[in-house]
Structure 1
Amino acid sequence: MEYELSSPNVLYVTTYSRIRDQIRQDILNSVFKPGVRLRISELTNRYGVSQMPIREALQQLQGEGLVTLLPQKGASVRKIDENFLSNMYDIRYAIETMLVRTGVEHMTDRDLKEIDLLQEEYEAYVSNRNREAALLVNEAFHRKINGLANNYEAIEIIDRHWGLIDVLRRQFGFSEGRIHSIIDDHRKIVNALKRRDRDLSVRLTGEHVMKAKIDLIERFKQSQR
């Protein structure tokens, strides 16, 4: 069902997404310290919205692992540390390697063309130093590959962390040389997919995720020094 731009449904989703992103950013910027209670009444005053988008945002942030929701106790901020980041990428490793293993069997020539075009678009944005656009296209590249397996439950788990990963990348950046390493990894993955080499595609995907994990943790540790 399609809605007009002024539809209450669209406005609600826009408000909820904006509030979720603002709370997430405030947590990562230590406005809300680890262990702090996130009271609905205080959040509605802070962000100038009703309780409903606040509650929806907290549910989403619980799925990302940033917030803990307990009966009778409400929401509290979870500590972001090296262990949290490591666990997040380990989950991504397990699911993405599973998805690409299955996805190779269902991949069409049209899928390959779309993946190839997304990689070319990513490289163009990197070359133009458009980091925001590059992050979005990088996400689209991985979503396309992950979607080949038609396992929507698994994709939903990964999707919970994409927004958080993008925010962390904006905040901590990349180690020197990592951007070019990403391009090289993507090219190798695309070539393996074109050959329909399932085992190689799985191995390269796993290595790519682990490199991202090591890089982000290192950048995080540097920010804590």
Structure 2
Amino acid sequence: MKNTMAEDKIVADKTIATKVIEKLREDIINNRFETGSRITIKEISERYGVSPMPVREAFRTLEGEHLLEINPYKGATVLRIDEQFVRDVYGVLRALECLLYETALDEIDQGVIQKLRCINEQIRAIVDLPYGAAEYVDLNTKFHSTIMEHSKNQKALEMYTHYHEIISTIRKKYIPVPERIRTGIEQHEKLIEALEKKDVLLVKMAVDEHIKSALENFMTQFSQGK
């Protein structure tokens, strides 16, 4: 366990439980706990400087994410994050994106279309810059959020946000390459055109292409980074 005590303390800018969930998820994904190791509520509450209650909630949440396996009276076992785990999460995100974009379609007007094109041009402008990769992550999130915020299905949006947080935490260790960013820009253009035409089938096809491309690119980095 490599963290310093200062790094482990929770800053209370969100609810304590949410911060503990995010911190423990990040520590598991970043291998600060060995796969197969056992952790206890007492150990984590002391490590993070919080009471047992938010840790207990974090254990339940991360069990649902298949990052922990809870053993009654024995704490929890840290599970392995492998390629299948990543593919499963991307599969969930793909299904939710299709649903969210479909339910947002009626609310997408020319103002939204122009905003999406503007964001995509911002991405194009930073591809080859030294800070381009970091800027791309923020702009890409902004691009997709601009569409999803018009969805009428709030439950699906909550689920998407949850699973996107998991994959975003994993992706922090990997830098998007310029080739992938350029591909993403072109795929965004196809998605914008499909949204402008309000063609559900074209939207789903564009989402499929974008997600599959992002997944395969990421899996290459993930397998090499083990």
Give the corresponding residue for 1:89. Answer: 90
Superposed CA deviations along residues 145-178 of structure 1, whole A, max 9, x for unmatched, are 2333311111111111222222222212235611
Give the corresponding residue for 1:154. Answer: 156
The 3 A distance-change label for structure 1 pair 41 and 94 is same
The 3 A distance-change label for structure 1 pair 52 and 116 is farther
Unmatched 5+ residue regions in structure 2? 1-10
Verify the 8 A CA contact 2:133 2:176 in the aligned structure 1.
no
How far off is 1:223 after superposition?
1.4
Verify the 8 A CA contact 1:146 1:155 in the aligned structure 2.
yes
Verify the 8 A CA contact 1:12 1:53 in the aligned structure 2.
no
How far off is 1:198 after superposition?
2.4
Equivalent AA in structure 1 for residue 37 of structure 2: V
How far off is 1:53 after superposition?
3.9
Aligned length: 215
Give the corresponding residue for 1:99. Answer: 100
How far off is 1:107 after superposition?
1.9
Equivalent AA in structure 2 for residue 75 of structure 1: A
Verify the 8 A CA contact 2:44 2:55 in the aligned structure 1.
yes
Q: For residues 51-130 of structure 1, what are the structure 2 equivalents within 5 Å? A: 51-69=52-70, 72-128=73-129, 129-130=131-132
The TM-score, its normalising length taken from structure 1, stands at 0.80
Give the corresponding residue for 2:213. Answer: 211
The TM-score, its normalising length taken from structure 2, stands at 0.80
Deviant stretches of 4+, over 6 Å: none
Distance in 2 of aligned mates of 1:132 and 1:71: 41
The 3 A distance-change label for structure 1 pair 124 and 18 is farther
Distance in 2 of aligned mates of 1:124 and 1:58: 42
The 3 A distance-change label for structure 1 pair 62 and 109 is farther
The 3 A distance-change label for structure 1 pair 170 and 65 is same
Identity of aligned residues (%): 30
Report which stretch shifted further, 99-108 or 81-90: 99-108
Distance in 2 of aligned mates of 1:124 and 1:70: 51
How far off is 1:44 after superposition?
2.0
The 3 A distance-change label for structure 1 pair 148 and 194 is same
Equivalent AA in structure 2 for residue 214 of structure 1: E
Verify the 8 A CA contact 1:37 1:74 in the aligned structure 2.
yes
Distance in 1 of aligned mates of 2:144 and 2:216: 18
Distance in 2 of aligned mates of 1:50 and 1:180: 46
Verify the 8 A CA contact 2:103 2:153 in the aligned structure 1.
no
**Counterpart of 1:171 in 2: which secondary structure?**
coil
Distance in 2 of aligned mates of 1:31 and 1:79: 12
**Counterpart of 2:31 in 1: which secondary structure?**
coil
How far off is 1:101 after superposition?
2.6
How far off is 1:14 after superposition?
6.0
The 3 A distance-change label for structure 1 pair 190 and 120 is same
Distance in 1 of aligned mates of 2:119 and 2:41: 41
Verify the 8 A CA contact 1:25 1:167 in the aligned structure 2.
yes
